[in-house]
Amino acid sequence: MTDATQPTTYNGFIWSESLPAGAHWSGVIRRGTVLRITDIQGKANVAMLINNLEVKNERYNMPDTLKAQKTAFLTTPNMCFSDMGRVMCSVIADTCGWHDTIGGLSNAKTLKAKYGEKDYQSAHNDYFKNGYDSLINELTKWGLNASDIVPNLNWFSKVRVEDDGSMTFIENNSTAGDFVDLRFEMDCIVSLSTAQHPMDTSPEYAPQPIELSVFKAEEVKADDACRLHRAENQRAYYNTKIFYGENPDD
Amino acid sequence: MTNKQFDENRIVYREVVKAGEPWMHEVKAGQRFRIVDLEGNEAVDTLFYNAKDHSERYSATDTIREQGNIYLTTGSVLRSNLNNPMLTIVDDTCGRHDTIGGACSAESNTVRYAIEKRHMHSCRDSFLMALGNCECNHDKAMTKEDLSSNINFFMNVPVSPDGHLDFDDGISAPGRYVEMEAHMDTLILVSNCPQLNNPCNGYNPTPVEMVIWE
C-alpha cells in the first residue's frame, strides 16, 4: 500500500548501512531525522525497541500507542508513543501497509523447538540468533537491561486478530524493496534485531537482510498528516514540544 | 494443575481493595488467587513477578503468542518474559480478560482525553505508590522500569481482523470472578483502576476482593 502523498525521497542524506539477516544493532537516531528501513529481499522482520536517549526509562509503549490511535497495527500516519505521553517517532511513509506490535520476540527456547540449534562453532556468523537475546545484547550497551524488554515493534510483519481473538501470521506481507520511514520526534536509542518474527510460519530458519538509511527530516508543520491524524496525536506532539522547551502551539 | 474445590476454610488471605487503590502481595506456588469483581464492570490492572527474581515478570506478548489468542480465560497460561509458566487461569465466570490495553497513566491521560486530565488518579501512579510503600518491594529494588504490559482482568478490548482496536463496556457483572493457580512463588502488583474517562469500568470505579486459598 503506497501512499503517494508521502515523500519517498529526501534531500538531506546522512548515512546508510546494510544489516545482514539475523543481526542485531543499536544506535542513536536524532530528533529531526528520518530513519528509513528497507526490506531488501522481502519477508524481513525488524524487531525494535526505542528508549529516550536522555531519560532512558522513557520507552516505546505498545498499549498507549494502540489505544490512542484505536488500531492494533501500525502504518502511516500513526505515531509511536512513549510511556510518558510523548511521540518518539512518526510513520511518515510506508509501502508495506501493516506492521505488527503485539507478536513479541522470538527466544532461544522457541527458536530451538522450531528450527533446531546452530551454534557459532558449527556455523560461524550464520549461527541462529533470536530476538530476545539479540535485544538484551544491544540494550545492555546503553545501561539498559531485561527490564526494558517490553512489547516491541515488528516492522514488516503482519499478525491479524480474528473475531475470536486468535492470532494469524500473514505470510508475504512485505516484498523486496518495501520500506518504512520513521521521522524521529525525540533523540532516541534504537535497538533492533533482524531475527525472524516469533510467529513466522516458515519451516526454515530464514531471517532476511535490511538496509538502514538516515535523512534530514523536513520541518514538521502544523498541517503534518501524523500530527493531525487524531486529537490524541496532536496532544502527544504538544507534550513532546514542551519536553524540548519549545512553544507547543507552533 | 491440581483439582481443588473452593473451601472457605482453606482461605489464607482475604482483603477488599477499594476503588483506585494499589495492592501488592505474594502468592506461593500451588496456591490459588481469586479476584472477585464485587460490584461488576471494574478493571483490575495486574502485573506478576517471580518472587525470588523480579527480573522475571509477566509478559503479555509471550502469553498471547504461546496460546495463539489475545484474550485470556480459563486454560490461559500466564507466561513470563523468560517464557516460563507463572500461573494458569483455572476458573473464570467472566469469560475473557484483556492484556493488550495496558494501564492508564497521568501522561497517557493527557494524550487520550485532555492535557488538563494529568492530575486525575491513574493506574501507573497506583503501581508506583505500591512500589514505594509496600514491604513486598523488599529493598525498594523495583522501579518504573519494572512496569511492563499488564493484564486487565474483567476488561474488554476487542480487536477486529482489519486491525481496529477499541475499549468497550465491560462484560463482567457483580460477583463474577477469575481464579488462577501459581506455578511459582509470585509477587502480584495490582492497581484497582480509578479510570473515570472511558467505559472500561463503567465510569464508576468499584471495590474488588482478593482471595488467596490453598
d(CA A93, CA A88): 16
Determine if residue B83 is left, alpha or beta; phi over 0 gives left, psi from -120 to 50 gives alpha, anything else beta: left
Q: Which amino acid is at A120?
A: Y
* Chain-chain contact of B102 with A64 (C-beta, under 8 angstroms): yes
The listed range with the strongest mean pLDDT (A144-158, B139-153, B186-200) is A144-158
Give the pLDDT score at A5.
45
For A225, what's the count of Cα atoms within 13 Å in the CB-facing half-sphere? Answer: 15
Over residues B126-149, the pLDDT tens digits come to 999 999 887 777 777 899 999 999
Q: Which residues of B touch A132 (CB under 8 A)?
A: 81
What pTM did the predictor assign?
0.95
Question: Could you tell me the sign of the dihedral formed by the alpha carbons of A169, A172, A173, A178, in that order?
Answer: positive
Query: What does the pLDDT average to over B100-126?
Result: 96
Beta-strand runs (E) in chain A: 13-19, 24-29, 33-39, 46-52, 79-81, 87-94, 153-155, 158-161, 167-170, 179-184, 188-193, 210-216
Assess whether pLDDT exceeds 70 at residue A6.
Answer: no
Looking at the partner chain, which of A72, A109, A162 has a beta carbon nearest the beta carbon of B165?
A72
pLDDT recorded at residue A8: 66
Which distant-in-sequence residues (6+ apart) come within 8 Å of A220 by Cβ? Answer: A183, A185, A227, A237
**Amino acid B1: pLDDT:** 62
B38 closest CA partner among B194, B195, B173? B173
User: What is residue B154's predicted lDDT score, i.e. its pLDDT?
Assistant: 95
pLDDT for the residue B70: 98
Check if the beta carbon of residue A87 is closer than 8 Å to that of residue A240: yes
A45 domain-assigned: yes
Residue A6: inside a domain: no
Q: Which amino acid is located at B188 in the chain?
A: I
Mean pLDDT within B19-33: 96
Q: Which of B65, B116, B125 to mutate to test the interface with A (most CBs of A within 10 A)?
A: B65
Residue found by looking up cell 520526534 in the block: A185
Partner residue facing A150 (CB), from B69, B149, B164? B149
Mean of pLDDT values over B36-42 = 95
pLDDT (mean) for A106-110: 95
Task: Give percent of chain B above pLDDT 90.
Answer: 85
CA gap B128, B207 in Å, rounded: 20
- Whether residue A52 lies inside any domain: the answer is yes
Question: Which cell numbers hold the place of A192?
Answer: 533492533
What average pLDDT does this structure show over A64-89? 98
- Predicted pLDDT at B3: 75
CA distance A61 to A103: 14
Could you list the residue range(s) of the whole structural domain that residue A69 is in? 12-243
Q: Is residue A30 part of a domain?
A: yes
pLDDT at A9: 73
Please state the rounded mean pLDDT for residues A34-52.
98
Closest to B66 measured CA to CA, from B82, B48, B42:
B82
Angle between helices A231-243 and A62-69 (to 10 degrees): 130
Higher pLDDT: B167 or A29? It is A29
Cell of B15: 482483603
A188 domain residue, yes or no: yes
- Whether ipTM exceeds 0.90: yes
A147: closest CA of chain B, how far (Å): 6
| Interchain CB distance below 8 Å, A151 and B60 | yes
A2: confidence class by pLDDT, cuts 50, 70, 90: very low
Mean pLDDT of chain B: 94
Tallying the residues shown for chain A, one arrives at 250
How many structural domains are present in chain A? Answer: 1
Closest CA to A190 of A51, A83, A36, A58: A51
**Contact state of A71 with B145 under an 8 Å Cβ cutoff:** no
Instruction: Please name the residues in contact with A141: beta carbons below 8 A apart, sequence gap of 6 or more.
Output: A26
State phi, psi for A80 to the nearest 5 degrees.
Answer: -100, 115
Residue A107 to residue B83, Cβ atoms within 8 A? yes
As a whole number of angstroms, the distance between CA A168 and CA A199 comes to: 8
Q: Is residue A4 part of a domain?
A: no
Which amino acid, one-letter code, is at A216? K
- Distance CA(A220)–CA(B8), nearest Å, equals 62
**Are A64 and B96 inside 8 Å of each other by CB?**
no
Confirm whether A163 is domain-assigned.
yes
Residue A171 has pLDDT above 70, yes or no: yes
Q: Quick one: what percent of chain A has pLDDT higher than 90?
A: 95
What's the rounded mean pLDDT across residues B53-80?
97
And the C-alpha cell for A58? 522513557
- The helix or strand, by DSSP H or E, that contains position B123, with its residue range, turns out to be helix B123-133
Q: Which of A61, A147, A152 sits opposite B55 (nearest CB)?
A: A147
Q: Give the residue with greater pLDDT, B6 vs A155.
A: A155
Q: What secondary structure letter does DSSP report for B132?
A: H
Mean of per-residue pLDDT scores for chain A: 95
* B122 has pLDDT over 90: yes
Q: What is the distance in angstroms between the Cα of A204 and the nearest Cα belonging to chain B?
A: 19
CA distance B35 to A123: 50
pLDDT of amino acid A1: 42
Which of A213-222, B13-22, B132-141, B146-155 is the least confident region? B132-141
Does any domain span residue A1? no
Task: From B113, B54, B100, B91, select the one nearest B179 (Cα to Cα).
Answer: B91
The confidence score (pLDDT) of residue A7 equals: 56
CA–CA dist B5, A226 (Å, integer): 54
